[in-house]
Every structure is written in C-alpha cells, then in structure tokens.
Structure 1
Amino acid sequence: MTYPQDFITAFDRTIGHEGKYQNHYDDRGNWTTGIVGKGVRKGTKYGISAMSYPDLNIKALTLDQAREIYYRDFWCKLGGSKLHKAVLYQLFDAAINHGVWRAVQFLQLSADAKADGYYGPLTEHAVKQADVNDVLFRYLAERLDFMNDLKTWAQFSRGWSERIALNLRLCAVDN
C-alpha cells in the first residue's frame, strides 16, 4: 500500500515513542479487558494494545501490520490530511497513546468546540478557524493535564513528560 507522505512522517515519529514490546502488569492497555488483573495480559507493541486489539497476537505484530492499523484505524478516522500538519500530528500521536475519542476531545477543548469526542465537520471547522499556535499549546496542555490525573502518573511520568516535551519541539518544526 502507498501511504501519503504526511502519514509516513507522523507514523515514523510516533513509532519512536511506541516501538518496543512491553507487557507491564500495571499498564491496563496490556490486558484484553483494559482492566489490570482481568482478562489475558498480551502486552503492547508499536502502540497497539491488547485492550484495543484483544484478538491480535501482539507479540508477533510486525511493523508493516502496525503501519496498516495506524493508517486505517487512526489516520483515516482523524480526517486524513485535512488539518494543519502541526495539529494533525499532535492529534494522531495522542490518538495512538490515548485512543481516538479522547484525542479528538482534547482537540475540541483546544478549539472551543463541543467536546463530545467525535471528529466531524463542526470540529474540523472550529479547528480551522482557531489560531494554530493556540490550538497546539492548548492541546498539549489538555493532554498533560489528563496524564497528570492518571493514577499511574508517578510510575510513567518520566516517559510521558519526555513525549510531551518532544511534541512541543515538533510543534515548532511543523509550524
């Protein structure tokens, strides 16, 4: 399959955060039910979690399979290349990390749109009408506030903070 260049760039960046297989007990994404200690603990690889893909053999997942999932289940659901590339990358990265619904909700909050978690023409219009820098700063603030409120913040905050710091740097590059 041939992918658009902006998707390839976003994928390559995000996979840098998400690349390795991990099967940490306290990460709910590693469990097929999304509840720590319930279901089967299959792990996460390339940001593809057992919670979201319970029937997938996570450990055997290939990079090409992950790319296909990212494109089909994330990029296309987020409107493809309709938004400014800096905003689109942040939305895409958050969708991989937090799920599409929550990533869209962050975007809606950042653009003063109805925060229902569903991407559509009203959300797209609100984002396009807003100042790109304002959306980017507010987006990453929403994301960091969300992470800080998670009970696993103390355990995973270093990696999450590094990810947000890198994303701030990428905002400057993309804008």
Structure 2
Amino acid sequence: MARDNFAASLEAVLKHEGGYADHPSDPGGATNMGITRKTLADWRRIVPWTSLPKSAVKALTKGEAGQIYKARYWDAVRGDALPAGLDLAVFDFAVNSGPDRAIRMLQAIAGVAVDGAIGPISLRAIERIGATAAINELCSQRLAFLQRLSTWPVFGKGWGRRVADVRALALQLAAGKPTEQPRPVPVPKSPPDKPAPQASRGAIIFILLAAALAAAFFFVSR
C-alpha cells in the first residue's frame, strides 16, 4: 500500500492546478491551487458560500490547500489503501472531476458493485487486476469522459496533457521507479588565485650585488 505517497501526489496535482484563476468558462469560478471558492467556503463553514470574497480564494495558503486535498479528495478515495501509482491516478481524477466519479469509474474497471465507496471487496478486485492495468484503463476512460464535455474545446488541450502526464508518472510509481528529479545546475568552480609574481634568479643576483657595492662605497667614503 502507498501510505507515504500523499505529499508526492499533492505536488503532482498542484503542478497542473496552478495558482489563482477566474476563467469565465470554468464552472468552478474563482479558483486557487485547484480549490474553488465554493469548496473553500464549505471547508471554512461559511454560509452562503457566495459570501466568501474572491480575495479569500486568492489569499489561500498552500498549507490550507493541502489540508483540503487530504480530507476531501485523498481520504475520500482511500488513497492510503490504493497501490502506488494508482493512488495518484485516482486522486488526480477526483480533484479534476469529483471523488464520486473517480471511485465509480475505478469500481467499474475492477468489476465490482459501483456504489461509490471503496471497501475490502473493491481493494481485493483492484489488487487482482494490478495497478498498471488499472492505471491505463482509468486514464483512458477519464480522457474519453473529458472529451465528451461541452467545455472540451476550451480546456481540452490542457486536460489531455494533464491525463498523459498523470498516466506517465503513475506508471513510474507503480513500477517502483524513482520519479524524475530536476537536474542540478552545474556551478563553475572559482578560478584559482594567481600566484604572486616571483623575481627571476638573475634579478635576485643583481639586487644582491648592488647591495654589496653600496655597502662597500659607504665604508670607503668614511
């Protein structure tokens, strides 16, 4: 099971959700890090939700967003109980289209009763088909669902890229492969200090002779 994958999965989700936006074609309205104004108002128990100003959405912190994602999405799909990789695929789908839809689609793929609640029967069925097969089928069906939406012409390019990215990362996690980390930026070494210029051997001899002659002249002139 993937009990330590929430933090990594959250980072993957936030990468696609981005910052504050208020797109007129987005039914969620004002959104920040994927958290809509209505979701934030519900989380803070503000009624009616429209009384929450958009400025509150814009000021949402990453810490509070993470708490909402954990309670309302990750825990809702039982992310801690799902196999590595599949947890990310289901979680991201839940964030994008709702936990209930993500769970029901996963249950249909697993061939169990579609009741919107992941329990022992669902988990055993998922284990039988394997994480890799479940990830591929879930992502394919998710993409097909999105393509049927009336807003696909507006958001389709971004959605398609998101599903492809999630599929690739989820399959990496399922295979136990380390996810790609940013390459370190090579830092050039500081040039070595230049040595102080050294006098040549000839110059040293000349200086010594000059000093000796000066001393001899001093004694003679006395």
TM-score scaled by structure 1? 0.84
Gaps of 5+ in 1: 31-42
1:49 Cα shift?
Answer: 1.3
Q: Deviation at 1:117? A: 2.3
CA apart distance, 1:93: 0.7
Whether the 8 Å contact between 2:94 and 2:102 is mirrored in structure 1 is yes
Kindly tell me the number of residue pairs found equivalent between the two proteins: 160
Task: Name which of 33, 49, 55 aligns with 1:46.
Answer: 33
- C-alpha distance in 1, partners of 2:39/2:117? 18
The answer for the alignment partner of 1:35 in structure 2 is none
Structure 1 stretch displaced more, 108-117 or 65-74: 108-117
Q: Which amino acid in the other structure matches residue 150 of structure 1?
A: L
**Range moving further from structure 2, 70-79 or 145-154:** 70-79
- Give ranges in structure 2 of 5+ residues lacking alignment: 42-48, 175-222
Deviation at 1:165, TM superposition (A): 1.2
The letter of the residue matching 1:50 is R
RMSD (CA atoms) = 1.6
- Taking every aligned residue pair, what percent have the same amino acid on both sides? 31
| C-alpha displacement of 1:47 | 1.0
Matched, 1:93 2:80: no
For 2:14, the equivalent position in structure 1 comes to 15
Give the aligned residue type for 1:11: L
CA contact under 8 A between 2:135 and 2:171: conserved in structure 1?
A: no
**Cα distance between partner residues in 2 of 1:168 and 1:29:** 24
- In the superposition, the TM-score normalised over structure 2's length comes to 0.67
CA drift of 1:85 comes to 1.0
User: Is 1:107 matched up with 2:94?
Assistant: no
SS at match of 2:76: helix
